[in-house]
Amino acid sequence: MKQYFIFSILIIQILFSCSPNQKNENNESLAHVETIKDQHTRANIEEIRTTHLHLELDINFENKIIYGVARHQMSENNIDHAIFDIKGLEIIKTTVGEKEETAADFTISDDDELLGAALTVKIEPGTQFINIYYQTTENSEALDWLPAELTEGKVHPYLYTQGQAILTRSWIPLQDSPMNRITYSADITVPSELIAVMSADNPTEKNDEGKYHFMMKQKIPSYLIALAVGDLVYTSLGENCGIYSEKELEDACAYEFGDLPKMISAAEGLYGEYLWDQYDIVMLPYSFPFGGMENPRLTFANPTILAGDRSSTSVVAHELAHSWSGNLVTNATWDDFWLNEGFTVYFENRIMEEIYGKETADILATIEYQDLTASITDIGQSEFPEDTRLKLELNDRNPDEGMTDIAYVKGAFFLRTIEQSVGREKHDSFLSQYFQDHAFQSITTEIFVEDLKNKLLDPNAISFNIDEWIYQEGLPENHLKIKSQRLEKMVAIAEKSKTGKDIFSSDFKDAERNDFITQEWLTFFRTLSPETSIATMTQLDAQFKFSSDANAIVKSDWFKLSAQTHYREQSPEMQKYLIKIGRRWLIEGIYQILMDSDDAQDHHFARETFEKAKNGYHFVSRSTIEGIVKK
């Protein structure tokens, strides 16, 4: 409470940074003083800010340590100390100066379990360059050091970082707030058998020295600084796009992402030029905690999206869309997270519609809607029912807790509902203008709302329940309703089965797994009740082989249903899946159902599986799953 009070009296000016070559009609309204504070940083960004960061890092796989120096170029200032965020880092020394360095004193505060510590460097007012010499530790939560066994090639180790939301501070000492935007450069040294790639301009070939130089010339928030090191090859997929992967996955990637050039054109056609020059993807190991992460110029991806039939490409559409929503226009604080994800889910669906048609787009949106209604119920009954508001209040909480279907799907439905009431043409030109006006800025929900009123709703004399959507709980009544006949058919089959009818001799007579797409199966599983008999489960598995399906999403929902129905036959398959895959959204639901079960054997199975799996999970998934199984 006390801490909250101190935070809330801190009034901070955000000086919005504009791209130098971006004409900005909003300068006036943006120059105004905002009285907001990013609760998730300990840095004094209201007094002094990094403008450019240069990293010199040595990646040591033997010790699993990164050694190096972070050289910060600072904004004009009149202050005698600069505070940086650090978490799980060992600070060796701090200096000031560019060519000639002189030692500077530093202190490290108490360690907050969530935010880490404040590293305060004493400086002369006006100091331009601050250098922090440091090394990472085993508590550097962003880092996933994988032994060779957990890679495809099984010969070389792999390392990747995951910064979002507040983990960049665990591998780089910096001001870890999305409110501040910086350019960065890096000199990275790796073992010569490996190549390093970053969210910057990238090499396409290894060199003998293992030394790589990087530059990100556009201003980005700190959570988008990212590094991956592995035995990777580059495959070009078009003029300005391609994929880094281990060579074992090269062909699979080239096929799966074959539509990438089309997606980029579709996205540009919708909301304006792609401003990051190059769009590549790096295929990480299965432990990566997300399906995809929108690191600029280089999306990080989980191999579970390699379904073999391009059925998971919406993840790529999503990460690509972030090149506008999120990376170009960024949430100023994690309470505004829906500005990143809600816009992106909306945009992702528009890209999918352009390329695969309205029926596909509606199927995807219907699945999202199913997820959303389930989440609203869950969150409504949880400790934090207020989390069903778009604008969050995550004081003293992990911003990770805002990563729910509210930001993603309620956010997208908000935009879809506005689109429905103003018409697509006006909505699209408003969004294009929004991306242009706020390019390379970090903005709040309130700035978006002002824009929405002034530039779209008022000029068209449309009234809209904005406040209800953003500041109230639940889903407003006027939300857009989407229907999909194909999914309704699956609901009907599942309902029939629930009333005891034999679906195998009618609807599923001679049916094969691939007669239905992923989303049809998800709908079918979700409609089947937890009381489905073992006999039915066995018959479904015999006919469609779900327990060994090639699609990781289908398997995730199938294993959830298996856990609910105590269909234990395939628990070896379920366990194999949970050990192999670290993508959080695919595994946490299965663990949760097992732990919610009234059968103690299920708890035992969940705990035993986690013990076997945990070393293969990234910190992000390990801590979430630990929270589930330790309860």
Residue ranges that bind ligand BES, judged by CB under 6 A:
164-165, 290-294, 314-315, 318-319, 322, 341, 400, 403, 408, 585
The CA distance from 254 to 247, in Å, is 11
How far apart (Å, rounded) are the C-alpha atoms in residues 556 and 549?
10
Using the minimum distance from each CB to ligand BES, give the nearer residue, 119 or 293: 293
Between 177 and 295, CB nearer to Zn ion: 295
CB atoms within 10 A of CB 251: 11
Q: Indicate the residue among 118 and 220 with the shorter CB distance to Zn ion.
A: 220
Task: Give the residue with the Cβ less far from ligand BES, 65 or 586.
Answer: 586
When the beta carbons of 131 and 344 are compared against Zn ion, the nearer one is 344
The full DSSP string for 33-87 is: PP----TT--S-TTT--EEEEEEEEEEETTTTEEEEEEEEEEPS---SEEEEEES
| Nearest residue (CB) to ligand BES, 224 versus 537 | 224
Rounded to an integer, what distance in angstroms lies between the CA atom of residue 113 and that of residue 111?
A: 6
Closer of 88 and 291 to ligand BES (Cβ): 291
Backbone angles phi, psi at 573, to 5 degrees: -65, -40
What is the CB neighbour count within 10 angstroms for residue 430?
A: 19
Question: Half-sphere exposure of 304 toward its Cβ, with a 13 Å CA cutoff?
Answer: 26
Residue 508 binding: pick among Zn ion, ligand BES, none (C-beta 5-8 Å cut-off by kind): none
Q: What is the distance between the alpha carbons of residues 183 and 219, in angstroms, rounded to a whole number?
A: 5
Judged by beta carbon, residue 294 or residue 362, the one nearer ligand BES is 294
As a whole number of angstroms, the distance between CA 237 and CA 234 comes to 10
Q: How far apart are CA 173 and CA 182, in angstroms?
A: 14
Q: How far apart are CA 416 and CA 614, in angstroms?
A: 39
Instruction: Show the binding pattern over residues 324-363: x = contacts Zn ion (CB under 5 A), - = does not.
Output: -----------------x--x-------------------
CB of 326 to Zn ion, least distance (A): 7
DSSP alpha helix (H) spans, 423-477 = 424-437, 445-451, 466-471
- Tell the burial category of 208 from Cβ atoms under 10 Å away from its Cβ (0-12, 13-18, 19+): exposed
* Residue 352 contacts residue 314 (beta carbons within 8 Å): yes
Shortest Cβ 303–Zn ion spacing (Å): 18
- Cα distances (angstroms) measured from residue 39 to each of 393, 534, 617: 10, 49, 28
Bridge-based pairing of strands 129-136 and 117-122 is unpaired
> What residues form DSSP beta bridges with 283?
301
Select 83 or 267, whichever has its Cβ closest to Zn ion: 267
Cβ contacts of 395-398, under 8 Å, gap ≥ 24: 395/4, 395/7, 395/39, 396/3, 396/4, 396/39, 396/114, 397/114, 398/114, 398/165, 398/166
- Interacting residues toward Zn ion by CB under 5 A: 341, 344
